[in-house]
A and B are shown apart, each in its own frame.
Chain A
Amino acid sequence: MIGPLRVERRLDTPKWLKVVVPLASLVLAAIIVGILLLATGHNPLSTYHQMYSAAITADGALSSTLVYATPLLFTGLCAAFAFRMRTWNIGGEGQLYMGAVGASATGLVLGDWPRPLVIIAMVIGGALAGMLWAEIPALLRAYLRTNEILTSLMLNYVAGFFMYYLIYDSDSYWRDLTTPGASVFPTGKTLGSHANWPGITIGSFTLPLGFVIGAALAVGLLLLIRSTRYGFEMRVMGDSPQAANYSGIRTKRKILSVMAISGGVAGVAGSSQIGDFGHVLDPRGLQQAQYGYTGIVVAALALYNPIAVVLVSLFIGGLTNAGFALEGPSFPTGLVGTIEGIILFTVLGGEILARYRISWQRRHVVAVGTGVAS
């Protein structure tokens, strides 16, 4: 109870509420942001219009949006998949870094192989690296019951330093030591042309291969969760660990495999960064982008549904794109995060509120209601 208000869980959320509440939240967010814009001397409507065009309708806008959306799609799936089962993998950031390391190594080593093979190898290389990195907190959680939030968080830092070391502080395989500027401004080796992932041009925009892979993964994960034995066990475990135990589900193995898949997906995010976009291992860029952490937020907005993650990643990608494209005196970059944040607050708050019913209650001592005396 909150003061005199009685809050109780609804038995079922009516379908209409499930649609109306997020929409209402978005409208509320738009209003709040509008007020903020007005207060700082900007015109909300024209700002929104500009953002819309910069994200979607302008020349090359959609392609740029997709560039930002692709990594978020993967890291969003990574978090959504793990969070559904209440394994809180917040190590997507580090798993992405390791995936980038793995994919760039694969791409460099296999540089001359036929293109399709290189691409497949990069995906596998990145996925394996991410998977292994995620298994560390997974093993600790499964066998020692160590809190995976804390361990996966710590490993993000370690992965970051490792990546940093490879490029900025060593003569590692990943580092480009050939060009004259290289010893002064350390950079990674650029991958060969076979490691450049092709984009798929549709009309006026280009769909990165990574996005297609991600979308396919989203469908695959949805099918896995909804239609397979494995997914069924996941859903039972996520709903009630005691019921899972009771029905004979091997919970330790589940934790290990769910975290592995989750980490693997984040690893492919890293592969995509190398293959679709940079073609070189760029620690600084990856660390600044914070795709891993943003992915968690994408997953939360998508209510941990894989298909929704695709849509939300496009939305956030568009928002980010608009922010950077419009950057200037009338559109400070800070607006991007501010808008994202306000949307998050309203949607998250709204979603929980929709699950509960609020009513007035006189001050009343309530009994623990099993209804059975002894």
Chain B
Amino acid sequence: MNSNIVLAVVVSAIAFGTPLVLAGLGELLAERSGVLNLGVEGMMLMGAVCAFYVSQELHWSSALVLFLAVVASMVAGAAMALIHAFLTITIRVNQIVSGLAITIFAGIIGLSSYLGEVWNIGGVAGLHQFNQVNLLGLKNLPILGPLIFNQDVFVYASWVLVVAVLYYLYRTRPGLYLRAVGENPAAADAMGINVTAYRYTHTLIGGALAGLGGAYFTLALAPIWTDGLTAGVGWIAIALVIFAFWRPDLLVLGAYLFGIFSALGPTLQTHHITALPSEFYSALPFLMTVIALAAASTSWANRRIGTPASLGIPYTREEA
């Protein structure tokens, strides 16, 4: 196969995968604390619209504006997550319903679209954009050049975050405590760990990262705002976390894999190399996840690589 095709597919995969990695890492942290968040799509859209608004309205230096826009996106995402956290952790509403409520509230026919209208920022090209950087001046290296040294800040940030989250989970004390909270909140509580605080914090971080993932669309990809421009990426992020079995390293690989599969289809078709339909490739990761989940339910596997045992279940301390 032509190396140009491969390159094109990989480049496309990275573009597809970056918001997935960002939002996915956020969801991973939230789910590790035991909170299922189905509102990711809504949070991403809120991040996207708020970031775009800031970048359109502020007339300062590009760097500053973009920075503030990024901050705005994270605040917006975290604000949505706060609603979800409050409802599910404190009031103990069903996590599925609360997450869906956020998606409806903030999603394509919700607040993000409303704000887009009210702020009148739809359909206009963005004034600021994160461009590709020339990292270490190596962008012209064959193959690796465009892939690794010529990406925008979001992509690099996503890579850094993967390493950071990996380190956090497995090499820091708070990360250890987080894993305990997700696995056995009663045991963690008995050891003096504040389960509620961990769940709140990580749900909010999840929202902030989802917002950041949304900002990628309006600040880097094609700076423009339209209703629902994330086009379901938030939902794929949720699936991705499960596919990666709550591990950041598998998450980033999975994100690019999803990206490859979604780019593969059209590419294969234009070059008439179709064997299986592209939808098959797109559906494959989800099917594999179902099989993996079933296999992981056997107690042998469950002990080694299981789901965070308390996912979806509100925690109550035994009290009179």
A/B contact in complex, CB under 8 angstroms: yes
A369 in the interface (beta carbon within 8 A): yes
Q: How far in angstroms is the closest Cβ of chain B from A145?
A: 6
Contact A293 B103 (CB under 8 A): yes
B-side interface residues, number (CB < 8 Å): 58
* Stretch of B15-23, B54-62, B68-76, B92-100 at the chain-chain interface: B92-100
Residues of chain B in range 94-135 having any CB-CB distance to chain A below 8 Å: 94, 96-98, 100-118
* Stretch of B154-162, B176-184, B211-219, B287-295 at the chain-chain interface: B287-295
A297 in the interface (beta carbon within 8 A): yes
Contact B286 A158 (CB under 8 A): yes
Contact A88 B101 (CB under 8 A): no
B320 in the interface (beta carbon within 8 A): yes
A349 in the interface (beta carbon within 8 A): yes
Chain B proximity mask over A132-155: 1 for CB below 8 Å, otherwise 0: 000010001000111101110111
Chain B positions near chain A (C-beta within 8 angstroms): 36, 83, 87, 90-94, 96-98, 100-118, 227, 235-236, 238-239, 242, 265, 277-280, 282-283, 286-287, 289-290, 293-294, 296-298, 307, 311-312, 318-320
Q: Which of B97, B278, B293, B318 contacts A140 (CB 8 A)?
A: B293
- Hey, which chain B residues are within 8 Å of A116, CB to CB? none
Using CB atoms, name the residue of chain A closest to B107: A337
Q: Which of B293, B311, B319 contacts A1 (CB 8 A)?
A: B319
Residues of chain A in range 317-362 having any CB-CB distance to chain B below 8 Å: 320, 323, 332-338, 340-342, 344-345, 348-349, 352-353
Top-6 shortest CB links A-B? A341-B105, A337-B110, A334-B114, A334-B113, A369-B320, A332-B117
List 12 A-B residue pairs with CB atoms under 8 Å apart, sorted by A's residue number.
A88-B312, A136-B290, A169-B279, A293-B104, A294-B100, A300-B94, A334-B113, A337-B111, A341-B111, A349-B93, A368-B319, A369-B320
A19 in the interface (beta carbon within 8 A): no
Contact A345 B105 (CB under 8 A): yes
A261 in the interface (beta carbon within 8 A): no
Given A144-B298, A164-B279, A170-B277, A154 contacting B289 (CB threshold 8 A) = yes
Contact A368 B318 (CB under 8 A): yes
Given A146-B297, A149-B312, A157-B283, A88 contacting B290 (CB threshold 8 A) = no
Contact B286 A154 (CB under 8 A): yes
Q: Which of A41, A170, A353, A367 contacts B320 (CB 8 A)?
A: A367
- Hey, which chain B residues are within 8 Å of A368, CB to CB? 318-320
- Hey, which chain B residues are within 8 Å of A169, CB to CB? 265, 277-279
| Interface-centre pick from B94, B280, B283, B318 (highest chain A CB count, 10 A) | B283
Majority DSSP secondary structure for residues of A touching B: helix
Q: How far in angstroms is the closest Cβ of chain A from B92?
A: 6
Chain B proximity mask over A272-313: 1 for CB below 8 Å, otherwise 0: 000000000000000000000110110010000000000000
A88 to B297, CA, bound (A): 17
A306 to B130, CA, bound (A): 51
Contact B115 A334 (CB under 8 A): yes
Contact A161 B109 (CB under 8 A): no
Given A154-B290, A158-B287, A332-B114, A147 contacting B277 (CB threshold 8 A) = no
